[in-house]
Amino acid sequence: MLLQTVRPNIVQSIRAYRVEDLMQAAEDVGQHFLYANLAAAQSKQDVLDGIAEAFLFPPHFGKNLDALFDCMTDLVHKAGAQPGFVVVLEQLPDNPRFDREAREQLLDVFRDAADFWGERKIPFRCFYSFQ
């Protein structure tokens, strides 16, 4: 089991993991698999738009980091019991319009979401890669 080797509430580089393997591992344990390929994104707004589209956020999604946190936590939490999450953010931009600070702010939202779900004893694993 691939997920048994990964802490249950973490945000980490995808490194040695393959997206297909993570998707299969999530399916094997009945967890949600959320995937966003952000190769076309160039800015923070592009990244938020790409995540919102890939994760099927509601039309009223505010397209800011606070709204992202709300959608990853409160909105889902109110939907009922959750089995866990495997999230993949592939090809985050690495350019002047989405610099290291912007990437860290985005990843902090996912770290906060991992903490939120961890407090509820629900696994939330987020993997990311850069362009």
Number of domains composing the chain: 1
The answer to whether 126 and 114 have CB atoms below 8 angstroms apart is: yes
Q: 91-129 pLDDT, tens per residue?
A: 999 999 999 999 999 999 999 999 999 999 999 999 999
Positive or negative torsion for Cα 111, 113, 119, 120: negative
What's the CATH code of the domain at 33? 3.30.370.10
Closest CA to 131 of 46, 66, 67, 52: 46
Q: 48-63 pLDDT, tens per residue?
A: 999 999 999 988 898 8
User: CA 101, CA 116: separation in Å to the nearest integer?
Assistant: 22
Range(s) of the domain holding residue 14: 2-130
